[in-house]
Amino acid sequence: MKQLIYIAEDEKNIRETLYSFLENDGYEVHKFLNGADALSFVEKCEPALAVLDVMLPDTDGFALLRKMREKHDFPIIMLTARVTDSDKILGLNVGADDYITKPFNPVEVLARVKSQLRRFLQLGAAVKAP
């Protein structure tokens, strides 16, 4: 079964680029243009991983991240144009698993997605082991 990935990003170019890279690599990808839609889908169907933009039209990506973290622990990668260390630290403190600054190379994003999914699977296996 294909792993499900959510992308919340209002910038069309970035959203479509990530979408094609992930889809070409065999993932099932759902795209969202705002935080509210992404959050309501997470409640209905939990993804294997989510990529969240920090600057969404209806919400701060960090606020969205916090809401998702209340009930879910799938890997979340934050995407942002902000480059200050304090933003990175804030993102990691509120439960982001990784942080990618724009402009980025989509190949790198794909590699990070894979690495997070691998890590999460290993964690799950470790928890379930006797």
- Binding residues for Ca ion, rule: CB under 5 A, are 10-11, 53, 55
- Spatial separation of the C-alpha atoms in residues 2 and 76, rounded to whole Å: 18
Number of CB atoms found within 10 A of residue 110's CB: 16
Contact predicate 40/68, CB 8 Å: no
Min dist. Cβ of residue 129 to Ca ion (A): 40
Closest-approach residue to Ca ion (CB): 55
- Spatial separation of the C-alpha atoms in residues 88 and 80, rounded to whole Å: 9
Closer to Ca ion by CB, 55 or 94: give it: 55
Min dist. Cβ of residue 125 to Ca ion (A): 35
Min dist. Cβ of residue 127 to Ca ion (A): 34
Closer to Ca ion by CB, 81 or 92: give it: 81
Dihedral, CA of residue 60, residue 58, residue 33 and residue 16, to nearest 10: -40
Closer to Ca ion by CB, 12 or 118: give it: 12
